[in-house]
Structure 1
């Protein structure tokens, strides 16, 4: 099978839109609400999940035929925990301030239902390359939703992006809305993103 066959392209692109893990499958909502008060931690969290999902998929795919069925979940958790530990140590070494903002949520990637779902539903039944594409696709699908929510919350909550004040917006009270920093507002924004996503795709299907 070609590395970039139509099937492999669909494996990669489906989670970015129609089969997005957050807006279509409604998975990973907790972290999507918890780390999106600012754009930078949202980006870092999205990239961390993407890297961990991609490489855990590959590892599980490579050893899937040697894993006893009774302990497959344990093996998957061990692989994910090892990768999460590596990512956590990397963030503490090279992006300490962001790792502090993310707090325990990096460690909780171990129990992320998107990640465990892809291992069980895809990596255990497909080859390493397909599993890698699936992991990258689902990770990026998760990440872009976090970036959108984080962008809106930081922009309208503190008139800044990536921690840098935007001078021409900083003078307006409209861009200093304290509600944007509250978890409830993250849920409302995420709900609007889900509504917009489904409305656009339903309109395309009906054409």
Structure 2
């Protein structure tokens, strides 16, 4: 069960690459690795908390009011995360801006609460939220890394905004462009980058499917030999 949930969240049913949910913040804030990681961690915490809470109250909420209740639960967790970021990662909080409270409207979170957490026990619901959040965060970080490297030639720039003064020297300068590559930094670059990631995933999925289809006759022959012996 947990292995299947991990595979679903990280690959087969990834919120960003397969379900194509939460694209507004994904495309808007992924101008750097740290921005993507910060929003990804916030979204993951909200997913885990809301899934766990929805699972706990699933027997006490009628179907007529379940969506408003789910939204209120999600909004409560988003408010907590927003206040924590305001207190401890203020510069990152300013950089992410309106996209922190907009986590409330992220269809991936509401969708998991409705499709999974409202029908499953606490442990599996929380784990599902964790894996979906990690899968979403990975896409944010990879896309942010691509745009940051292509646009500015740096990686982990501004890490101290998330990790504190200890990360002040984590930034890596790969090259120093005379003029920033604006296409990568601006929103059109995010669309192109996401399309590239989706294409890579589809190519890998096709190769895996072709390999599985090629191995299927061999498995049938082995099964027959085993049965006959």
Write the deviation string for residues 82-137 of structure 1: whole angstroms up to 9, x where unpaired: 10000000101111111111111010000100000000000010000010111001
Partner of residue 204, structure 2: 200
Q: CA RMSD in A?
A: 1.4
Indicate which of 110, 113, 117 corresponds to 1:116: 110
Partner of residue 128, structure 1: 122
Q: Answer with 11-20 or 44-53: which moved more.
A: 11-20
Write the deviation string for residues 136-188 of structure 1: whole angstroms up to 9, x where unpaired: 01001111001011001111111112226644511x448x3122111011000
Question: Does the aligned pair in 1 maintain the 2:51–2:112 contact within 8 Å?
Answer: yes
TM-score, length-normalised on structure 2?
A: 0.83
Indicate which of 182, 185, 207 corresponds to 2:189: 185
1:107 aligns with 2:111: no
Partner of residue 83, structure 2: 89
Structure 2 unmatched ranges of 5 or more:
159-170, 212-229
- Aligned equivalents of 1:167, 1:95: Cα separation in 2: 23
- Give the paired residue count: 199
Question: Does the aligned pair in 2 maintain the 1:149–1:189 contact within 8 Å?
Answer: yes
Partner of residue 146, structure 1: 140
Structure 1 residues 168 and 98, CA gap change in structure 2 (3 angstroms): closer
Question: Does the aligned pair in 2 maintain the 1:14–1:20 contact within 8 Å?
Answer: yes
Structure 1 residues 8 and 135, CA gap change in structure 2 (3 angstroms): same
- Aligned equivalents of 1:72, 1:168: Cα separation in 2: 50
Question: Does the aligned pair in 1 maintain the 2:154–2:174 contact within 8 Å?
Answer: no
Provide the secondary structure at the position in 1 that maps to 2:19: coil
| 1:13 CA drift (Å) | 2.5
Partner of residue 175, structure 2: 169
TM-score, length-normalised on structure 1?
A: 0.92
- Aligned equivalents of 1:26, 1:109: Cα separation in 2: 15
1:35 aligns with 2:29: yes
Question: Does the aligned pair in 1 maintain the 2:15–2:132 contact within 8 Å?
Answer: yes
Provide the secondary structure at the position in 2 that maps to 1:66: coil
| 1:26 CA drift (Å) | 1.2
Write the deviation string for residues 54-73 of structure 1: whole angstroms up to 9, x where unpaired: 11000000010001211111
